[in-house]
Amino acid sequence: MAAEEKAAVEPLVGAVVQGTNSTRFLVFNCKTAEVLSHHQVEVAQAFPREGWAEQDPQEILQSVYECMARTCEKLQQLNVDPSAIKAVGVGNQRETTVVWDRLTGEPLYNAVLWLDLRAQATVESLSRRLPAGSDFVRARTGLPLSAYFSAAKLRWLLDNVAGVRAAVAEGRALCGTLDSWLIWSLTGGARGGVHGTDVTNASRTMLFNIHSLEWDRELCGFFEIPMDILPSVWSCSQIYGRMRAGALRGVPISGCLGDQSAALLGQMCLQEGQAKNTYGTGCFLLCNTGRACVSSEHGLLTTVAYKLGRDKPVHYALEGSVAVAGAVVRWLRDNIGIIETSKDIEKLANEVGTSHGCYFVPAFSGLYAPYWEPSARGIICGLTQFTNKCHIAFAALEAVCFQTREILDAMNRDCGIPLRHLQVDGAMTANRLLLQLQADILHLPVVKAALADAAALGVAMAAGAAEGVGVWSLEPEDLAGVRTERFEPQIQASESESRYAMWKKAVTKAMGSVPAQCPEGSEPTILSSMPLGFFIVSSMILLIGARYIAGAQE
């Protein structure tokens, strides 16, 4: 009981992390960074057409309220008073875009997810308006002109959804990434809600100048997006407003970061050259470049890492984004049915311990860094009559690791300082086989964080450290390390290079295989829409042809 009574009087901080697959709320003890209580709710995704991905903003909001309420109930069961929660931070899936009516508080369309491809035709049209060789967008935003980012999604909504277009014309519309929707709703919504975002989320919209740290008037003009619908931009650590409803009414919302920046902070990557990789629905490798805004020559993104207070300096990062990591496990479970739960993939892959020459490129949403090739599609190659579901499961895990290797290679070339180890977090790090494969394929040590949800820790740190809250110190001497388990390479570098070279050959087969979008009303013809049997037979035909050619060349 003594420990419980002590926990009740220590200041606590809550962290909302709204991800692609779920919403979580965690409560941390500020002195120990210990998670006292948490709750998680799955959030449904909709795929109304090939390449489209959406979520219901109201369902997301309700999941936040539910997680907060259930977490507070669990605290009370531990004899911890929820009133000890002094601040709440918000972390979120980035680039996902929402437009809503400021008078009614109702969304005007579903949230268009970060991995949605519908705006590809919009991007192609915009590209034709740029002078040949123009670096206009990347020079100001650090981002390529891509359907991945919010501006293209918002332009699509304005062009294709009459309700959005009308609300903008009538001055009723507000828009933003999911953090903006949540903060506005939690602080009162139509009754005085705060319309704000932070610099990390703003830097993922393609409308934000990462040098001046302001919405860019010329970029907004290029995309034809009115600036008055955009949120105010603040630092990651300051009081945005106070909760107006729910279990934590009156508590300040004082931290906000995109989930990957939050994980960088939660992994204590606060020094130039430190890097982390988060394995979630996608895979995101960020390297802290300090106050230097480093431009990539090898297909990476330049982004804002964090700004921890109004008067604090901004820190930048280089980032490599992989669209499909944990999503490939979900695909094997839900679409193909070779596993019953996500945890089963490790057991299945361990049964064989090798892919037996099978390679999987899960380019379900095209290929992100370092290729930025939206026309790529997923393939499985190297199949033989001996191949079974265990080999495919192993190949799926290897695919996550190979994609990370590609990004790390590009990052090393951009930074010029090769990493000595890679810090990792995210739900997939519960898979020990994955982490060992990652160490083998990188031929570098992989260091796993004690807390898989490093994004939640980063959000809590930012919220607790905000001016006017001040219950969490961000001084280096006060930050305890969170790295615990280390995975060393167990194969020769030559074997790692050989497997990686075969993966790169598989990637070339996946690229440019189909148009990025089908004409209106036509049926998609990509491999992922075909029956699995046809898919496997086609892959085997490709394999036989490839082996015949290889034999002829030898």
With beta carbons less than 8 A apart as the criterion, state whether 536 and 387 touch: no
pLDDT of 418 over the 90 cut: no
- Average the pLDDT over 196-214 and give the result: 97
Q: In this predicted model, what pLDDT tens digit does every residue of 286-343 receive, in sequence order? A: 999 999 898 888 888 999 999 999 999 999 999 988 888 888 898 999 898 988 888 8
pLDDT for 477: 56
pLDDT for 93: 93
pLDDT level of residue 116 (50, 70, 90 thresholds): very high
Q: Using CB atoms within 10 Å of the CB of residue 62, give its burial: 0 to 12 exposed, 13 to 18 middle, 19+ buried.
A: middle
Decide: helix, strand or coil at residue 515: coil
Percent with pLDDT over 90 in the chain: 62
What b-and-e string marks burial along 275-286, b requiring 16 or more CB atoms within 10 Å of the CB? bbbbbbbbbbbb
3-class SS letters over 114-134: CCCCCCHHHHHHHHHHCCCCC
Stretch (H or E) spanning 393: helix 389-415
Q: Which of 89, 312, 96, 90 is nearest to 213 (CA)?
A: 312
pLDDT for 219: 96
- Average the pLDDT over 414-433 and give the result: 85
Rounded CA gap, 120 and 273, in Å? 34
Mean pLDDT over all residues of the chain? 86
- Average the pLDDT over 481-496 and give the result: 82
Rounded CA gap, 254 and 418, in Å? 36
pLDDT of 529 over the 70 cut: no
- Average the pLDDT over 69-96 and give the result: 94
Measured CA to CA in angstroms, residue 69 lies from 74, 178, 179 at distances of 9, 20, 19
pLDDT level of residue 537 (50, 70, 90 thresholds): very low
Decide: helix, strand or coil at residue 254: strand
pLDDT level of residue 530 (50, 70, 90 thresholds): very low
pLDDT level of residue 141 (50, 70, 90 thresholds): very high
Q: What angle do CA 328, 330, 332 make, to 5 degrees?
A: 70
Whether the bond between 231 and the residue before it is cis, its omega within 30 degrees of 0, is no
End-to-end CA distance of the chain: 73
Rounded CA gap, 109 and 353, in Å? 45
